[in-house]
Structure 1
Amino acid sequence: MCQLFLRVVSQAARAAALGFVLACAHPASAADAPEYRFTQYERAVTVDDSGRTVKHVVFSVVLSSDAAVQRFSQYVVSYNGDLQTLTIDAAQTVHANGEKVPADLKAAVFDQPTPTSTVAPMFSSQRLRFVAFPAVKRGDTVQLSYTLTDRAPMLPGKFDEIVYFPPTEAYDAALETLDTPAGMPVRIDAKGMQLVSDTVQGKRRTQIYRYRTPANGPLHEQADTVSPLDTGPYFIATNYADYAQLGRVYEEGVESRVARSQPIQALADRITQGVTDRRRQAVLIYDWVSRNIRYLAAWVGAGPVVPHNADEVLRNGYGDCKDHDVLFISLLAAKGIRADSVLVNLGNSYRLPAAPTWAAFNHAITWLPEFGVFADTTSGFSPFGVLTFSSSDKPALDTVTGHMLHTPPQNGENSLSSSDYTIKVGENGDADVRGAFVLNGQAAFTPRRALFRYSGDRIGYELMKKIGLTGALHVAALNRGAIDQPLELDLTGTVNSIALMPGPAALAIPTMPGYSSIKAFADYVLVQASQPVEAPCGGTAVHEHYDVTLPASSRIIAIPPNVDSKNGVIHYTATYRQNGQSVEIDRVLERNFQTNVCGPDVLKQWFGTALEISTDLKRQILYR
């Protein structure tokens, strides 16, 4: 994920830092009281004519469980050390008997950088400030007051504020106060909140919004959901007129960084030497940038939404998503191929708030209108024109035209997993296995990345562990380096105790190790259908073929019946054929998704089909 802007809203950062699940499931019952409750939450934002903001936050949280004590005894506020100053104004613990224990703001407050990854190290000035509350125990209240002040606006004259109120948390009253110049046009999207007042005094306008947890209480956490930007409640305020204006602001930074230099031209000519087909030229340039420019999650320099100069990125050999994009655009321009920067969300957000906000975007990719293709050189393991699942089915802001495009959803057209397993069961019940995989499009991304990081034995171990099998499995790539071709894998090894020998007994046809699973889809539908909040859903087409051979001492009595189940965009087939001591099995799951967001209504429609799939996967070969 590439940080397009580095000012993280304190409430959203708090939720992320503490690992909260911001989306939701079922309402908590009266008997199931919340583990903690915000008895006070007030956030006042003052904006001056330059767009510079000062945010003052005060809250009180009653902790009713040991888990809540663990969660809130140390509180995290995120801020950008280059762009903001953070002051902890007051912090204290209030015991149930009313006794107040102030925190030592020197000894109990400390900073550290945001976590980084060795795969995508993050060079940024983003900081986490920790506040440790003293002597906290169940039944206490922790209180905190802090102020975030902009050193300067991220962009002159512009501001953009956002705060979430997770419905999994209990708020007696959350107040958001926005104080702006009276003449400043402000757009507000306060989903799930109520306007309390809107007043003008002199040259200042003050608007106050309120959120309260519904009377039936907060919602239980749901592990797999879309983003809070898709569900709310949230408060967004900005003086951007629309998303097109936001895109133009970003494009101004890109235009100044696209290089038309001799080194760029020479490199573009060398990469495409002897190639006249324009699409093939684009593919070769994409491959070169993907392989030769190291991706860093964030690289701060000219500014949070301004990429580095393409010549600088080329010299250094690394950059963030913005830098990848500007170098790719520069090299394409050297061959006369137009390409536009595009902003997307690399996460679980699939819809745009009504008020334009930078929070809707956290990643830059490239749009090539001549070929109708989106390309992301930061993925490193995807062929030209293939995005990862996290950037699929997303609003995509073309910063050149201001148009809102949309990335294609993941489905069988761009993601296919095909496996062919030979399973020979021995007299002791163990099995020798041999598998051949062909993974196309998005389905190849995860295994390509695994091959880059781990040995074949380690990959085999992790695949076996994931589905609860024991034994030994080695994974080898037949065409590791050819990312523009389907990935071919060879799997060899043994699986322990796959059958009871001698019979009579029944062999449950196993789900063998793989990267896309029919079982995973059936389980997803059966679980998520009872949840009220939409969730991301993958659409990879899955083809599984098994040839299972039992020992010569066994005799097959019965095999499962064939299955053919179609329900809207879902089609599942399973065929079983006996040939002496062997059973040949073909299972195919097609998902012709037009979106990667699945809500409760559609999941309930698929429930019967998912149950039929789940039942079929449990069927057995009877033998003696």
Structure 2
Amino acid sequence: MTHCMACLRPARAVVVFAFCVAAASAFTAPVAFADEANADSSPDDRAPYTTESDVHLFTIQKDGSVIEHDDSVLRANTTSGVDDIAQRYVWFNKDIEQVQLLAAETIDPDGAAHPVGPEAIRDVQEPRSAGAPSFEDGVLRTVIFPGVERGSRVRLAFGKTREKPLQAGTFAYLVEPTREPVDAQRLIFDLPADVPLYADARGYTALPPVTANGRTRYEFDYRHGPYARLETSAVGYANWGDRLMVSTVPDFASFAARYRGPATDATMNDPAIVQLARSLTARVADPRAKAQILYDWMRMNIRYVALFLGETAAIPHKATDILRNRYGDCKDHVALYSALLAAVGIRSEAVLLNLGPYYSLPDVPGYGASAINHAIVWIPELTLYADTTAGGVGFGYLPAGVMDRPVLRVGEGVLSRTPATQLRERTARVQIDVDENGAAHYAYRVEDAGMTAEIERNMFRRATRQRAQQIAASRLLQTGLHGTAQLQTGDVAATGGPFATSMQGKVEHFVWTDGATALPTLTSLAGGMASQVEAWLAEPARTQPWACVGGEFDETLEITLPRFVKMTDLPSDTDVRNRFVTFSSRYVFDPAAHVLQIRRQLRAAFGHQMCSAEEFAAMKDDLVRIERDLDAQIVVKAANSAHVAGAK
């Protein structure tokens, strides 16, 4: 449906508002302990908590100012539910908002009420501001409820007054369930009669609007029993589940215009910015090379303050201030990078999108956890997007969290989409020499190309020597091997191109000197195609859309066996081919040299990042065949053991 909010429900207020959820929490399914699950046969009681009632009223004026009133009661069903509701937060912007707590109390299972005392109410700085003075406007009013136990209810009623809108003359609001049961919820939006409210409602019941005394009241009801768990790797619930987005902005073109005007920055041509950009790019003439140099400078030198767009004023700080402070949120990164590009004659524009597991936007524009919450840059003459907040992503690539997403190009005011795929290649070589004592001396080299190369390089760029060795040891252990590991890396000072790491070490008792030994046919340590296929098969069946990122893998194992063993079992070659995945494995054993070579190749090309449950069902059997090959073992037996018929 389409009815016409600039007020974002902040992701950080999730504990207060039962209908607001941060993107990351969409991947966390509630877990009940056995005694709690059996305490009551009702499915509702197996959810950590239930929203018994929530009435949320917004009284909006033409200029976008708003008085907000919320009265909600949550019931703890389990011990984990006690943790969820015993401390709740009201987020507000101290520069433009005031909060008044009207009621805060714990209600025992027998109905006795215990008010929250003033000592249990405190204001704390929004932790994601990371101490950056330019972002100290975000405050969490913390309410700590006394005596909460299973069966207790907590009631919180508050008023919030916003005298200055985030965007002048607009109001918008996103509602997304927390995926805990809701007995009754009503959202009420009271606006001037000549200010229409547009809405994209899915699962929320819109009541007929009522107009009286020059104002119109829009109401939406919501109730929901226990939710099915979110499957492993499922994309955000709002892609297919319930959601409400309301806005006084009629369309995305109008939303872009409202962002574009205030974002105009008179300091973008400041001499300090121009001089910096030109000095950094003085030795190159190619526009792409210039853009890359400036991109790398941004991600290495401007700290990212990870506040989502719309949680604070949707106007970037001045480019000169960002340069001086050396930090900023996403819109600030866009502002400074755009100014640097302009200084060397490269045009760019801001792009608004969602950073999270959401592959669609609501039909009406606004900020929110599953709506617009991030900004990146579009460079038309290079036909590429750039996100300088992603410190570990190389120029020309995008982090997975903004791939295959609808985007609003602010300059043109049109919707477009980020690329669905990008280069991702991984080549791994494992060489193992087993000595006459059964110990394995191994050498491992892996090279990443494309999107993952800079992610890997950046991890080691920022790691201490000790941390780098810990990573090496962990990767060996994750492969199921216990031994030593020494790591070397490629040039971490580079900012582009493939990146390689190598490891050497020793694994004791890799082959037993008596009896039979089953050896893994590992063609890569952790992070290779085995890890990838395991992730795809994390669910035996899927009913929800899931995140599917393709790539190409080429892996080889060469193992030299000791003379005291004979090969008794060798896997067969495997070939798999379907619409999405191509896989092959080849096993070659030279009995004279006692050398086994295994080569595996995997290519996954989904064409998008959100796969359907039907697509999973179509490829599952083939993925299981691939997994079986990757888990295969070779069996060798000490020659002094009893002869095994059919040994190779």
TM-score (norm 2): 0.87
Name the SS for the 2:565 alignment partner: coil
Residue 163 of structure 2 aligns with an amino acid whose one-letter code is R
Residue 69 of structure 2 aligns with an amino acid whose one-letter code is H
Residue number in structure 1 paired with 2:609:
596
Residue number in structure 2 paired with 1:377:
388
Residue number in structure 1 paired with 2:95:
82
Contact kept, 8 Å, 2:202 with 2:241, in 1: the verdict is yes
Contact kept, 8 Å, 2:302 with 2:328, in 1: the verdict is yes
Contact kept, 8 Å, 1:506 with 1:620, in 2: the verdict is yes
Q: Answer with 312-321 or 415-424: which moved more.
A: 312-321
Matches for 1:406-485 after TM superposition, within 5 Å: 406-410=417-421, 413-454=422-463, 455=465, 456-485=468-497
Residue number in structure 1 paired with 2:155:
143
Matches for 1:21-420 after TM superposition, within 5 Å: 21=26, 32-34=43-45, 35=47, 36-104=49-117, 106-116=118-128, 123-166=135-178, 168-214=179-225, 217-257=226-266, 259-298=268-307, 304-359=313-368, 360-410=371-421, 413-420=422-429
Contact kept, 8 Å, 1:299 with 1:319, in 2: the verdict is no
Name the SS for the 1:576 alignment partner: strand
Contact kept, 8 Å, 2:94 with 2:138, in 1: the verdict is yes
1:549 and 2:560 aligned:
yes
Residue 147 of structure 1 aligns with an amino acid whose one-letter code is G
Shift of the 501–605 alpha-carbon distance from structure 1 to 2, 3 Å rule, reads farther
Q: Answer with 439-448 or 157-166: which moved more.
A: 439-448
- How far 1:23 sits from its partner (Å)? 7.7
Aligned residues: 613
Contact kept, 8 Å, 1:23 with 1:533, in 2: the verdict is no
Residue number in structure 1 paired with 2:645:
none
- How far 1:521 sits from its partner (Å)? 3.0
- How far 1:344 sits from its partner (Å)? 2.4
Name the SS for the 2:364 alignment partner: coil
Shift of the 286–446 alpha-carbon distance from structure 1 to 2, 3 Å rule, reads closer
Q: Answer with 261-270 or 242-251: which moved more.
A: 261-270
1:299-330 CA deviation, whole Å, 9 max, x = no partner? 99997222222233333333332222222222
Shift of the 193–16 alpha-carbon distance from structure 1 to 2, 3 Å rule, reads closer
Residue 562 of structure 1 aligns with an amino acid whose one-letter code is D
- How far 1:386 sits from its partner (Å)? 0.9
- How far 1:416 sits from its partner (Å)? 1.4
- How far 1:368 sits from its partner (Å)? 1.1
Contact kept, 8 Å, 1:529 with 1:603, in 2: the verdict is no
- How far 1:192 sits from its partner (Å)? 0.8
Name the SS for the 1:560 alignment partner: coil
Residue number in structure 2 paired with 1:509:
521
Shift of the 119–464 alpha-carbon distance from structure 1 to 2, 3 Å rule, reads farther
Name the SS for the 2:209 alignment partner: strand
For residue 613 of structure 1, the aligned residue among 598, 614, 626 is: 626
- How far 1:213 sits from its partner (Å)? 1.1
Name the SS for the 1:197 alignment partner: coil
Contact kept, 8 Å, 2:521 with 2:630, in 1: the verdict is yes
Name the SS for the 2:541 alignment partner: coil
- How far 1:90 sits from its partner (Å)? 0.8
For residue 526 of structure 1, the aligned residue among 533, 537, 541 is: 537
- How far 1:398 sits from its partner (Å)? 0.9
For 1:440 and 1:71, how far apart are their aligned partners in 2? Answer: 43
- How far 1:497 sits from its partner (Å)? 4.4
Residue 417 of structure 1 aligns with an amino acid whose one-letter code is R
Contact kept, 8 Å, 1:564 with 1:574, in 2: the verdict is yes
For 2:70 and 2:372, how far apart are their aligned partners in 1? Answer: 25
- How far 1:593 sits from its partner (Å)? 2.2
For 2:539 and 2:418, how far apart are their aligned partners in 1? Answer: 25
For 2:630 and 2:470, how far apart are their aligned partners in 1? Answer: 27
- How far 1:114 sits from its partner (Å)? 2.9
1:10-37 CA deviation, whole Å, 9 max, x = no partner? 76465658985478799x9965443332
Over aligned residue pairs, what C-alpha RMSD do you find? Answer: 3.0
- How far 1:268 sits from its partner (Å)? 2.8
1:381-434 CA deviation, whole Å, 9 max, x = no partner? 332211111121111211100122211124xx4111211111223444442221
1:442-485 CA deviation, whole Å, 9 max, x = no partner? 21243223213323212212323444433232332222111221
- How far 1:9 sits from its partner (Å)? 5.8
For 1:94 and 1:127, how far apart are their aligned partners in 2? Answer: 27
- How far 1:205 sits from its partner (Å)? 0.6
Shift of the 282–63 alpha-carbon distance from structure 1 to 2, 3 Å rule, reads closer
Residue 225 of structure 1 aligns with an amino acid whose one-letter code is A
For 1:200 and 1:148, how far apart are their aligned partners in 2? Answer: 24
1:560 and 2:571 aligned:
yes
- How far 1:184 sits from its partner (Å)? 0.2
For 1:264 and 1:18, how far apart are their aligned partners in 2? Answer: 35
Shift of the 528–151 alpha-carbon distance from structure 1 to 2, 3 Å rule, reads farther
- How far 1:362 sits from its partner (Å)? 2.5
Shift of the 605–109 alpha-carbon distance from structure 1 to 2, 3 Å rule, reads same
- In the alignment, structure 1 segments of 5+ residues that lack a partner are none
Contact kept, 8 Å, 2:9 with 2:175, in 1: the verdict is no
- How far 1:251 sits from its partner (Å)? 2.0
Shift of the 611–299 alpha-carbon distance from structure 1 to 2, 3 Å rule, reads closer
For 2:461 and 2:93, how far apart are their aligned partners in 1? Answer: 33
1:486 and 2:486 aligned:
no
TM-score (norm 1): 0.90
For 2:278 and 2:243, how far apart are their aligned partners in 1? Answer: 49
| Identity level (%) | 28
Contact kept, 8 Å, 1:571 with 1:589, in 2: the verdict is yes
- How far 1:162 sits from its partner (Å)? 1.5
Contact kept, 8 Å, 1:388 with 1:445, in 2: the verdict is no
Residue number in structure 2 paired with 1:8:
10
Residue 440 of structure 2 aligns with an amino acid whose one-letter code is A
1:35-56 CA deviation, whole Å, 9 max, x = no partner? 3322212111111111112221
Name the SS for the 2:537 alignment partner: helix
Shift of the 300–225 alpha-carbon distance from structure 1 to 2, 3 Å rule, reads closer
For 2:300 and 2:62, how far apart are their aligned partners in 1? Answer: 45
Shift of the 437–48 alpha-carbon distance from structure 1 to 2, 3 Å rule, reads same
Name the SS for the 1:353 alignment partner: coil
- How far 1:180 sits from its partner (Å)? 0.9
- How far 1:616 sits from its partner (Å)? 0.7
Contact kept, 8 Å, 1:397 with 1:405, in 2: the verdict is yes
Shift of the 436–470 alpha-carbon distance from structure 1 to 2, 3 Å rule, reads same
Q: Answer with 28-37 or 107-116: which moved more.
A: 28-37
- How far 1:264 sits from its partner (Å)? 2.9
Q: Answer with 257-266 or 183-192: which moved more.
A: 257-266
